[in-house]
Amino acid sequence: LYQVGAGSFARVYRAVNVNDGSVVAVKVLRSRFTQDAEKCRWFRREGEMGRLLRHPNICAIEDVGQENNTTYITMEFVEGQTLRELVRIRGALDPGRSINLLDQMCAGIEYAHRRGLTHGDVKASNMLISSIGQVKVVDFGLARIDAETGDRSLGGSKRDKGDKGDNLRTLDYATLEKLA
């Protein structure tokens, strides 16, 4: 229907599922990366890992695919805004609301950790706040799987750090999540 967000690697659109009429979000890899096999693999990996995480505070991924040289991820559409946008528009949040949002964020991230997955990109722009105040963690593009604690359904090797052996994460927020 229309674009609702954009990042360095992808754009996100609001769309309608032609099979059932439900509103979904479609994250599409930018066209400049469609010929880059590594970028396509990373993008698909994000979707496949996210697809296995089912929690009320994690945005549900429904499908990962490629059609007409376009790689995409379909997911739950969250009517609302990012935490970053919320704070930018409204300013500081009252303590009660802040604690409630933080509690929800931690619940989603802790669920992923129990499955052996470290998000790696915890930041305000990766936390969606729905119009009813529910937090949804998004963008597992830099996620890592811990081989010792990781759920085998998530895949991963001896110490999967994103296939490159790099310890990738958003450095500004790295201390918010385990660094091992």
> Could you list the active site residues?
121
The 3-state DSSP class for residue 144 equals strand
| Helix, strand, coil percent values for the chain (each to nearest 5) | 30, 25, 40
Helix (H) or strand (E) holding 135: strand 135-137
Distance (Å, whole) CA 34 – CA 99:
41
Q: In whole angstroms, what is the distance from residue 146 CA to residue 168 CA?
A: 14
End-to-end alpha-carbon separation of the chain, Å?
41
